Amino acid sequence: MDRTKEGWISGFVGVLIFSGSLPATRVAVADFDPLFLTLARACIAGALGAILLLILRQKRPDRADLPSLGIVSLGVVIGFPLLTALALRHITSAHSIVFIGLLPLTTAIFGVMRGGERPHPAFWIFSGLGGCLVAGFSLRHGYSASPTGDLLMLGAILLCGLGYAEGAKLSRRLGGWQVISWALVLSLPVTAPMTLLAWPPSLSGIALPAWLGLAYVSLFSMLIGFVFWYRGLALGGIAGVGQLQLLQPFFGLTLSAVLLHEAVAWPMIAVTVGVILCVAGAKHFAKSDGKGVALIAEAEAGPRS
C-alpha cells in the first residue's frame, strides 16, 4: 500500500478514537476533579507506555529529542486534557465542537512552522472553509454563555495543534507509538506524585460512568489513539492528514445517535457532506514533504536494543 494512503487510513482510525474523548471527559468530570482526571489519565497511560517500551526494548531518545518530547507532553499530555476538562465545567460538549473545528487549521499552521511543510495555497481555502462549516454548525447547536469556557478551549486547541505537529515531526525519527509513549513516560515524575496529591478524599461517590470515562481517556484518548494519529501525520503529512479532524465532531454526533438514540437532522448530513468535500480538496492540495517515510517505517519495524 502507498505510504501516503496508509498515513490517511491510520489518521482516520485515530480520529475515530478521539471522537469519544470530549464526551468521555464530560462524563468523567461530573464526579472527578478536572486536575485529578488530567493527571490520572496521563499517569495510567504513562505506565502502559513504559511497559510497551520495556517489552519491545526501545532505545532511549537522544538528548536532542528531549525538547520536542517536552513540547508534546505540554501540548497533548497535560495542556489539552487539563484545559478541556476545566472548560467542560463551563460549557457543553456540543459547544466544544466549535473549537475542535479549528484544530485542523492550527495543526496545519504549526505543521508549517515546526514541520517545514508548504501546502498549496488552495489548501488553506479548503481548510478554512471546512473549519467555518464545523464552527457554524456547532454555534447553531451549542450556544455558550461562558467566556471562561471559550478561552480555556481556545488555549487547549492551540496547545493541541502544537503538540500534534511536534509529535508528527518527531515520529519520523522515533516512530509514532514511541513518541507518545516516551512523552508520557517523561511526564511520569510529575504526573505520578501529583496524581497522589490530587487524589479524591473518597471514591465511594464516584459513579460507574465516570470510571468508564476515565478508562476511555486513559487508554484510548491518551495512548492508542496517538499510535494511529502520529503515524498518520508522519506518513501522510501534518497539514493534510490533520484535516481529518474536521470529521471528528460528526463522528461524535453519529455515536450519540446510535448509542443515545438522538435524532440526526438533514442539516447535519448536509454539513457532513460539505466537510467531506473540504477534506478531499485539502488532501488534493496538501503535498506531503515525504521526509522520514522510510525512517518511521524503520523505527516501528521491530525491537531496538
C-alpha dist (Å) from residue 104 to 15, 142, 158, 247: 11, 20, 10, 10
The residue extents of the domains of the chain are 3-199+206-293
Q: 125 vs 129, 245, 265, CA distance in Å? A: 6, 16, 27
Per-residue pLDDT tens digits for 76-116: 998 988 898 888 888 776 667 667 767 877 887 887 777 66
Model confidence pLDDT, tens digit, residues 164-207: 889 888 888 888 789 999 999 999 998 999 999 999 988 888 99
Residue 256: the pLDDT is 59
Q: Please, are residues 210 and 88 in contact by the beta-carbon 8 Å criterion?
A: no
pLDDT for 296 beyond 60: no
Q: What is the CA radius of gyration of the chain?
A: 18
In what helix (H) or strand (E) does residue 219 lie, and over which residues does it extend? Answer: none
Sequence-ordered strand ranges (E) for 94-219: none
Residue-wise pLDDT tens digits, 245-271: 778 777 766 765 665 455 556 666 677
